[in-house]
Structure 1
Amino acid sequence: MTDRTISRHSGRITIDNRWVVPHNLYLVAKYNAHINVEICSQVNSVKYIYKYVYKGHDRAQVYMGSSAQDDHQDEIKKFLDARYVSASEACWGIMSFPMHKEYPSTQRLDIHLENDRRVYFNENESSDQVLNRTLPETTLTAWFKYNLENPEDNEAKQTLYPDFCEKYVFHKQQNPRVWRPRRSGFGGAIGRVYAVSPKDIEKYHLRILLYRIPGATSFTYMRTYNGRVYPSYQATARAMGLLQDDNEWNDTMSEASTTMSPQKIQQQKARALNQPVPTEITDEMYGHCLLDLNQILVANQFDLKTMDGFKDVFPTVDTRDSHAYPEVSTPLERMHATLLIEALEAPDPNSLPFNPSQLVAYNAIQRCALADENYDAAQSKLFFIDGPGGTGKTFIINALLDVVRKQNHIAIAVASTGTVTLPGDIPSDFVRIPDEMYFNSTNLLDLLAAVFPNISNSSTIDQYFAKRVILTPKNQDVSVINNLLLDNLPGRKFTYYSYDQVCDPQFRMQVPLELLNSIESGSLPPHELVLRVGSPIMILRNLDPSAGLCNGTRLIVKSLGVRIIEATIATGPKAGDVVYTPRTKFITEANGRIPFDFSRTQFPVRLAFAMTINKSQSQTLSNVGLYLFFHVFSHGQLYVAMSRVSKPSSIRIMVDPDISVLENLPGHFTHNIVNSEVFQ
């Protein structure tokens, strides 16, 4: 408080209580000493308590003498002779407590090519002794040997080389060196494979494969994929889809030509044109087109203008005529043309089967949207279409978009429906879960069985998964649920690995590849994508809106190829259409979590047995499980989740009892976030 002051030196100095150090009067009076009371919650507090540790250097050494004197300075001895030790450090040493600790421990794992391991020898040994000596096993060769000699160890078969030391111990002092299972079930080490420069091509790609192939028994095994032994580790990695090159789209189109119709192939070709220009021009490309013809002639001392007979063979084209090069349309014009074509192909909105309430809303909004351009701007209106789930809100909006586009106007849906909620009579931030919606169990497997009964025996997979889903607020729960349900689905598993790379070439050597592979985000496909035929998936990018491939669209996998996924659209106006999805390049910019730009090339999908609440907007479902072991965290999420169904009996809500019971109130509750500012 500045109004309480003390003056000193005839009023020349005025001091208020801003200069008073927090203190305890009782302690000051009892010990008659300068005692401050501080909360030791920061490093600065520790520095104050042990201030002399941080005041200057522990010891200053000054040496005086001539440069000609060869006086060796033993700095280690001087450090032991005189070093300041605080009271706490001295007590810690007297009690023989450890001065530092590393937990968990780390295990450095060797990496080398076949017959390319390091050999150590004494300079006094003869060449025969060195050549005849049995080479000791490295951690890599011992791993191969253990997997070969223990085929009954199923856990070892499923364990990657970098993860092997978590449950196995490498006995380095034993002869021969071997891996053995840990006696205790905990305390495993973290494996760190030595870094390898990309310039060392074969060893670098061997390191990549060691992070992908479990239970290997030899170097040849590491070069084997799908029953074929490849000549190099680089070729094996490319066959597994771990590398990207200029042949990516050539291979994609070759695979597509065996299953796709001509129209679908043209669509894939159009997407290929948006890919980066190849870094190297192959002989095959030269055979398909006349590339840089004039530059090739000039380099060989020819020119198109001076070649005899050239004008007689090819007629002259007047390039000054504007019709030779049509004008390039703007992005808005191209969007307008695309939307107009879609609207013309859609059914006449005026003939759609509206119910009376829908027709009232449709007519009111249509008259306002299609009014004459000279009408009073004050008559413009903002419309909210509200209603329970399944009453046709999206149906009205799609009809309005079509009728406006048919009148040659631009109409774009810029936000999904169901993103806000009205507070109504809610007295607090919690709402009571109706008894008919509450799922009386805390076992996640029970909820999965209730939403997906007889998942392994379903004959009509497309219809079975189209209207069933588990909703949850967080992506981490989505991944767990998807993996559990995928294991219950019959059929062979297909695993697809992404190709990850730092965008800045100067920064690539500093970021380990396994770090890029470990990055997970709701907007990115996983590095390791595991699918089965019949599993539901969700598109993560707007690939082709006219074909129904939009962000959030759910598909059912029909077949799985090497570079193409064939699937059937399960939701939206294109439901039932068969589409083909290639691998796509995702670029993530630097943010607070990732300090660099990096790219990931992967199929733009993820499993969709479960999905986040935000991704489920504008979808109407018939069987929903709402997994709320964590409360919703944003405005309107609870409304969006509960409005996906048209009747209460179609949704089952599982909540954590520890966070769903309110004192002195019966029933179960969950958090509901409503930002009133949205409606002001």
Structure 2
Amino acid sequence: MYIKVETSRLDYYKSEQFQQELRVESLQGITDSLHVDGQTDPSQIGQKVILPSSFIGGPRDMRKRYVNAMALVERFGKPDLFLTMTCNPNWKEIRKHLLPSQLPHDRPDLIARVFKAKLEEFKDDIVRKKIFGEVAAYIYVVEYQKRGLPHAHWIIILTPPNKIACPSTYDHIISAELPDTSHPFLREYVVKHMMHGPCGSSNMKCSCMRNGECKYHYPKDFAEVTCNGLNSYPIYKRRDNGMSAVVRNFRLDNRHVIPYSPYFLLKLDCHINVEVVTTEKLVKYLYKYVYKGHARSAFNVVGQTVDDKYDEIQAYQEGRYICAPEACWRMFAFPMSEMYPPVIVMPVHLPNHQPLRFGLRQSLEQVASNPLAGKTMLTEFFEMNASNANSKNLNLLYKEYPEYFVWEGTKHKWKPRQRQVVVGRLCSVSPMEGERYFERLLLINVRCPSSFDDLMTVGGVKYTTFRETAVRRGLLQSDHYIDACLAEAASFQMPYCLRVLFAMLLVYGIAGDTQNLWDKYYECMSEDFVRMKIFTDVEVLCKTVDAIELVLTSMDKTILDFPIKFPFQYPSVRSKISRDYEHECSINVSEEDIQSVHQLNTEQLCAFKIIIERVNHKKAGLFFLDGPGGTGKTFLYRALLANVRSAGGIALAVASSGVAASLLPGGRTAHSRFKLPLHHEDKPMGKISKQSSAAKMIVKARLIIWDEASMANRHSIEALDNLLADLCGNKLAFGGKVVLFGGDFRQTLPIVIHGTREDMIAASIVSSKIWQNVTRICLTKNMRAREDPEFISFLLSLGNGQIPFIFDDNIRIPSSMLIPFVDAATSLNALIQYVYPSMDVFLTDPYSMVDRAILTPKNDSVGEINDLLMDRFPGEAKEYVSFNRTNDATQQVEFEDYLNSVAASGLPPHILKLKKNCPIMLLRNINPVQGLCNGTRLICRELADNFIKAEIAVGDLKGTEVLIPRIPLESSDKLSCSIPFKRMQIPVRPCFAMTINKAQGQTLDMVGIYLRQPVFSHGQLYVGLSRVRNSKAIKILIHPDFKGEGTVDYTNNIVFHDIFALAAGFCRFVFNLFFFHFCEFMFIYPCSLIS
């Protein structure tokens, strides 16, 4: 019956009556037809509609639903849960209504009605009863298997306070294990509904097998704990605990269990797969999968004649397969899908190009003269902004308008919304459409425009095209962007900064016509040398080029890599080898650092003598300086560097992070100094040529210090070992150099994306073959203990994992350190007030902000807090909007809006809001020679249209000015983003708040720790608490655990005790205070015993 109904509808859509009855054209098109060529026949203009989106299940309908669903992601963030609920034909509600001798498949009407009832019950539990937490948005789609049973795919987005944030939370709602016999009903249902297979070697004929492997990757590996998977769903806890069951004559264990929700499995008695969505990478796949369309049967492919035209209706009907339950479902008018909140599609049209629908028999005069003809959502949006006080006060974007106003279609006007949550979405427009695309770009970003003219006005100047307006607003990269950037920078009259800016633009490949830019701005870049009046023209050229070359070489480039012809012959005989050497020799050594050797305590002094003895006698030495925060590791580093440098030697200082590197004189990140590979290889090596200036300088180095090596990946350290052996031609470890690593194994370990405990330990230096050659020197005397000895003792116990657990990995936090939890907003505000009590004070003394920070485990919370504090910071904000471009140009239209919402790791936000004197953090290595590394903290001083002017806020280069332009950026975590893309943006972000990992290596005056989610890795809690000198300088805000249950005075403290055993057990020697006293008594240096 249903086939006849659907066929009848499709026949109508295919009929001439329908195809010619309804026409679509713009108002301007109708006017043009009337006044230009006198055309009055409606059949001669407009375009045909093949299969309308009103036909549920058609390609236009599925495409519209998919794009609408992506709009929910843009508005509320990535999905949290993906669920599949499948009909159970043996439900008692079906069985008890069967007639004698009937089987479930004989009653498709029963199957449809019962599944609909169960689906509504399921929705009620999720949405109203909030089983998983408060739901911000959801979609579900009903599909049918070939054998006829329905199933529903659900995608759920939770509100921010209810996000399923970490693997420990996953276990509250999802299990992937067989229950024990103490839960007999749950065990029965798991065995009946949630066991996959058997497949693989047990059953190669299973339907899931593809090329000898299960396409769902069963059986899974055993796992002792739940963790995030690499570019996939989580790796759920599947313990090898002996649990098994006989399924289809095979004994299966936890490796075959499909993840499920115990609550829903017991309640619904059907297959119900529940998965946590952990990465952005899954977003595109999930929504494409859910909206893939209905089932199709196999059919033959025949040749197409030249005269055949593509018929969308015929393409839909070919291979169409409808089972009996689906036919009943559709005849009962049950929804095939549902979306909450609903999405309102907003039209985008050029002035006087409103789309109009008109009948074949209407006269064009009637169509054009209709007073409502020219009124659309867009034109009335402008009108409301011009005349309605409420609309003006709300100051809304076009896409935000439906959230506050309702469109009355019959009256063609907006009215205030009284109820129901909705989301607005601008209709998609291809860049090929030119002005309409640029108009859409403006509508996405410009608030409260009152007319098309107002939309095209910037700073009181009305531009003639939408493209020109978008360029002027910084929403579109101009063909003359670089020229405008350099011209604006030249007006600051800072030749040094202009040279650095020019070098950056060269390196990032956005300088365009480099010769023209060089000719135009050479005088501005050389102005300071000319003003000295002591150099000839050739010498001025050499000085200018050398200054640019110094920046370029730090980024592995040279001026000769670019097509620039100099006005004078650049003396190529000048040795490039000397540049890095000269720079290292020019590092200022303060008298304070030189004299610091006299202030070393006994432990530090002995370590100093051991290392300097090796340096002075040119003996190989490989050391690891181990000690908790406050034992003076940085103080000792500075004394060592000063000793070597003051004697005319080269000492290289590097660190694993930009923050730690900024604390060392001449410090740089290890990756930028040694060009270490970002991605780990079988035989890693730094990419420095033997003929380069950097290579010659490294060979001359007498001492290399690598701070925070405990958080460096061992592959990076091994890459340095291979590099030094190659450059020095010496097979000894690290080319026979004296190398001092430093760190604290109580702190965070190397980051392994979605890695397990074993992965992180395996990535540590203690798991490297190098570790057996390392002499470990331990500092134990804490210089901060005099201020608060009880706090220091607490920190050591915390870092060593010696504080007793309340349960699992949770410890109790002293009440004196806690911010009481009232509700999310109130408590967060209290934490902010503690760390930043008065923003006006920081406006006059911005450097004092650098000694304060709110720390949190994850980037999501960092962005939230930075946005709050930026709004509170005094001054006028300036917004910099990024240009996002997909690597595959064909995906640009489909994902442009979505990419604007992506906050990928290592990328600045799409809309970067800054104010003068606010603290910011650099997100890329843009000039390592001058301390501008990933993680460097700066103070924002000027906000130009094309760049910002900032000052370095910490370290020996504090106060150095720099101009930072927009540069093309890619996420450092490419595995987490489903659509590869580049973001053109200024590579900074506010740093009122930062992640705990970013803060490692620095000491602060005031710290707030925000634990919306608990820490998730070894040492994170210890790192957060040990940034301050005493307990009075820190406060912690702990959110309640899942669903708001339990107290808030405990939190996770994850400690991998294995790392301590490896650190102590496999190095050559442990030097500590006891050994020092023994050596002092024997009147010998310890180094004579370990030579």
TM-score (structure 1 length as normaliser): 0.74
| Counterpart residue identity of residue 1034, structure 2 | I
Contact 2:918 2:990 in 1 (8 A): yes
Contact 1:208 1:237 in 2 (8 A): yes
Contact 1:662 1:669 in 2 (8 A): no
Counterpart pick for 2:596 among 342, 352, 359: 352
User: After the TM superposition, which residues 244-643 of structure 1 pair with which residues of structure 2 at under 5 Å, given as runs?
Assistant: 244-276=477-509, 278=511, 325-326=572-573, 338-342=583-587, 349-352=593-596, 354-357=599-602, 359-360=604-605, 363-364=608-609, 366-367=611-612, 369-370=614-615, 372-373=617-618, 375=619, 380-389=621-630, 392-401=632-641, 403-404=643-644, 406-408=648-650, 410=652, 412-413=654-655, 414=670, 416-417=707-708, 420-421=745-746, 422-423=799-800, 425-428=802-805, 429-442=809-822, 443-458=827-842, 460-504=844-888, 506-588=889-971, 591-643=974-1026
Bigger radius of gyration: 1
- In the alignment, what sits opposite 2:30? none
Q: CA deviation at 1:612?
A: 0.8
Q: CA deviation at 1:121?
A: 4.5
Contact 2:904 2:973 in 1 (8 A): no
| Matched position secondary structure for 1:140 | helix
Distance 1:223 1:426, change over 3 A: same
- In the alignment, what sits opposite 1:179? 414
Distance 1:402 1:535 in 2: 33
| Matched position secondary structure for 1:183 | coil
**Counting helix residues as a fraction of each chain, which structure ranks higher?**
2
- In the alignment, what sits opposite 1:673? 1054
Distance 2:362 2:1045 in 1: 80
- In the alignment, what sits opposite 2:137? none
Contact 2:456 2:469 in 1 (8 A): yes
Distance 1:662 1:162 in 2: 37
Between 484-493 and 651-660, report the one with greater CA deviation. 651-660
Give CA deviations for 1:439-459 in whole Å, capped at 9, x if unaligned: 334411111111111223556
User: After the TM superposition, which residues 115-134 of structure 1 pair with which residues of structure 2 at under 5 Å, given as runs?
Assistant: 115-126=352-363, 128-134=365-371
Distance 1:488 1:96 in 2: 52
| Counterpart residue identity of residue 859, structure 2 | N
Distance 1:630 1:283, change over 3 A: closer
Q: CA deviation at 1:146?
A: 1.7
Between 420-429 and 670-679, report the one with greater CA deviation. 420-429
Distance 1:328 1:588 in 2: 37
Unaligned runs of 5+ in 2: 1-245, 253-268, 275-294, 300-312, 523-569, 656-669, 671-705, 709-742, 747-798, 1063-1091
Contact 2:508 2:967 in 1 (8 A): no
| Counterpart residue identity of residue 608, structure 1 | C
Q: CA deviation at 1:589?
A: 7.1
Between 492-501 and 427-436, report the one with greater CA deviation. 427-436
- In the alignment, what sits opposite 2:434? 201
| Counterpart residue identity of residue 950, structure 2 | A
| Matched position secondary structure for 2:949 | strand
Between 541-550 and 599-608, report the one with greater CA deviation. 541-550
- In the alignment, what sits opposite 1:51? none
Distance 1:427 1:89, change over 3 A: farther
Q: CA deviation at 1:496?
A: 1.0
Distance 2:848 2:514 in 1: 47
Distance 2:955 2:521 in 1: 39
| Matched position secondary structure for 1:556 | strand
Give CA deviations for 1:309-339 in whole Å, capped at 9, x if unaligned: xxxxxxxxxxxxxx96449858xx8656544
Counterpart pick for 2:389 among 148, 151, 165: 151
Distance 1:40 1:364, change over 3 A: same
Give CA deviations for 1:136-170 in whole Å, capped at 9, x if unaligned: 4122112111212203334542x211222223221
| Counterpart residue identity of residue 833, structure 2 | A
Counterpart pick for 2:324 among 67, 71, 85: 85
Give CA deviations for 1:79-107 in whole Å, capped at 9, x if unaligned: 9xx97534x985x6898754543433232
Distance 1:234 1:638 in 2: 50
Distance 1:620 1:201 in 2: 53
Distance 1:465 1:594 in 2: 33
Contact 1:416 1:617 in 2 (8 A): no
Unaligned runs of 5+ in 1: 1-16, 24-37, 44-55, 61-73, 290-322
Q: CA deviation at 1:268?
A: 2.2
| Counterpart residue identity of residue 1054, structure 2 | I
User: After the TM superposition, which residues 30-45 of structure 1 pair with which residues of structure 2 at under 5 Å, given as runs?
Assistant: 40-41=271-272
Give CA deviations for 1:271-329 in whole Å, capped at 9, x if unaligned: 2332326556898878789xxxxxxxxxxxxxxxxxxxxxxxxxxxxxxxxx9644985
Q: CA deviation at 1:228?
A: 1.9
| Matched position secondary structure for 1:639 | helix
Between 572-581 and 492-501, report the one with greater CA deviation. 572-581
Q: CA deviation at 1:600?
A: 1.2
Contact 1:423 1:674 in 2 (8 A): yes
Q: CA deviation at 1:478?
A: 1.4
Give CA deviations for 1:497-551 in whole Å, capped at 9, x if unaligned: 11111234x4354543212211102411001011122221111112223323222
Q: CA deviation at 1:199?
A: 2.2
Give CA deviations for 1:22-56 in whole Å, capped at 9, x if unaligned: 99xxxxxxxxxxxxxx963359xxxxxxxxxxxx9
Q: CA deviation at 1:601?
A: 1.5
Percent identity between the two aligned chains: 32
Matched, 1:107 2:487: no
| Matched position secondary structure for 1:533 | coil
Contact 1:473 1:633 in 2 (8 A): yes
| Matched position secondary structure for 2:951 | strand
| Counterpart residue identity of residue 234, structure 1 | R
Distance 1:136 1:574, change over 3 A: same
Distance 1:511 1:571 in 2: 43
Distance 1:537 1:463 in 2: 11
| Matched position secondary structure for 1:242 | coil
Q: How many residues align?
A: 572
| Matched position secondary structure for 2:957 | coil
- In the alignment, what sits opposite 1:31? none
Between 595-604 and 422-431, report the one with greater CA deviation. 422-431
Distance 1:544 1:453 in 2: 34
| Matched position secondary structure for 1:530 | strand
| Counterpart residue identity of residue 636, structure 2 | I
Distance 1:481 1:117, change over 3 A: same
Distance 1:236 1:648, change over 3 A: same
Give CA deviations for 1:181-224 in whole Å, capped at 9, x if unaligned: 2221x331x33322222122211111111100121111111111
| Counterpart residue identity of residue 140, structure 1 | L
Distance 2:906 2:417 in 1: 39
| Matched position secondary structure for 1:630 | coil
